[in-house]
Structure 1
Amino acid sequence: MRLIISCLLLAVALPAAAQIYKYTDANGNTVFTNQPPDGTPTEKVELPPTNAVQIQPPSQPANDDASAEQQAAYNLVELTNLPDEEALRANNGTFSVGVRLDPRLQPGHSLRLRLDGEPYGQPTNVPRLQVQNVDRGEHTLMVDVLAGTTVVQSSAPITFTVQRVNTSSPALRPPPPTPRPNN
């Protein structure tokens, strides 16, 4: 019984290993076919064995808790050099803030600010970040630790007020020159 089943399986597999023929038609075109035409000289084409690729099982991601714990390995992520109670005086809206990390920034990680909830500036590995031309008024600022484009950990948001002096204010204009008496 096994012999009969084996022979049937081999007979079914034979067409998959069919011969390929090559010939030139009346118009001079090269034709490849699995059945040779009658009366036309043909050439057998020997094909190399086909490639086979084994299906790889999908790789199992590491335990999400463990990878998040590994990535979020900072005990402390905070912004420094921002005033708590008073306004930040920056006449041109430019100032710098520090970032305190414990432990130090890990390889492959970078820092980027988030001003009013939106990413601000380019990621960097320097723990001193500059903010430029911020409008007067109240803002929130936080820092993200990035691994590529993925946020690994963020600092707590800090709310602060930027005070910019209006240089066109009459109070800031120099007094007009006093007139000279005519002699």
Structure 2
Amino acid sequence: MQPLLMLLLLSFVFPVMAQIYKYTDADGNTAYSNQPPDGVTAQPVELPPLNNIERQPLSAPPTDTVNNQQPHSAYEVLQLTGLPTEEALRANNGTFTVSVLIKPRLKAPHLLRLLLDGQPYGQSSNVPILQLVNIDRGEHSLAVQVVDGEDALQQSPTVTFTVQRVHKP
């Protein structure tokens, strides 16, 4: 029985090799062969046409605007939250935290890095809450990047904000 099954399977794997014939042998078993046996009525087996899929040309994925490189991972959402844009941020000692909204979750080995006034700030982290310390009063810009080592993979929109530091005499 196994040789018959193998023959049947091979008939589906190599349909272009030869015509397949179906017949009933002397014991009453249905059999398949690529040649009609002598003295037995064999019927040709019509196989359905093979599925053909035309090869599509490869299209290049979009490039990353930070370093003009191919992106390693696409994050649908990457933005800073927790910064006031319509009023000044009151931080008397210049220390405050910002949150990063990122979807999907940050994937290893990617890290988050802040850009304060266009320059990298602090250490990269995998935690989406980042602290800024002793920031001077006045207007600043802040963005967050997803980095892999030193390579920036993606960058959030830049947020402009004002730090208000009040010194008491």
Fold agreement, TM-score > 0.5? yes
Corresponding residue number in structure 1 for 2:111 = 110
Question: Displacement of 1:84 after TM fit?
Answer: 1.8
Aligned-partner SS, 2:61: helix
Which structure would you say has the larger Rg? 1
Q: Which among 61, 72, 75 is matched to residue 65 of structure 1?
A: 61
- Structure 1: state its 5+ residue gaps: 1-62, 169-183
Aligned-residue identity in percent: 54
Q: Deviations over 1:17-75 (max 9, x none)?
A: xxxxxxxxxxxxxxxxxxxxxxxxxxxxxxxxxxxxxxxxxxxxxx8637866524101
Tell me the C-alpha RMSD between the 2 structures.
Answer: 1.8
Distance of 2:114 and 2:126 partners within structure 1: 12
Query: Secondary structure in 1 aligned to 2:160?
Result: strand
| Aligned residue in 2 for 1:119 | 120
TM-score (norm 1): 0.54
Q: Select the structure that is richer in helix.
A: 1
Partner of 1:47 in structure 2? Answer: none
Q: Which structure has the higher relative contact order (CA within 8 Å, separation 6+)?
A: 2
Distance (Å, rounded) in 1 between the aligned partners of 2:149 and 2:139: 30
8 Å contact from structure 2 (residues 113, 124) kept in 1 = yes
Does the Cα contact within 8 Å between 2:80 and 2:143 map onto a contact in 1? yes
Amino acid at match of 1:84: T
Indicate conservation of the 8 Å contact 2:112/2:146, yes or no: yes
> What is the aligned partner in structure 1 of residue 4 from structure 2?
none
Equivalences, count: 106
Q: Following the alignment from structure 1 to structure 2, what is the Cα–Cα distance between the partners of residues 66 and 78? A: 20
Deviations 1:53-105 (A, max 9, x none): xxxxxxxxxx8637866524101100000002010000000000000001000
Counterpart of 2:154 in structure 1: which amino acid? Answer: Q
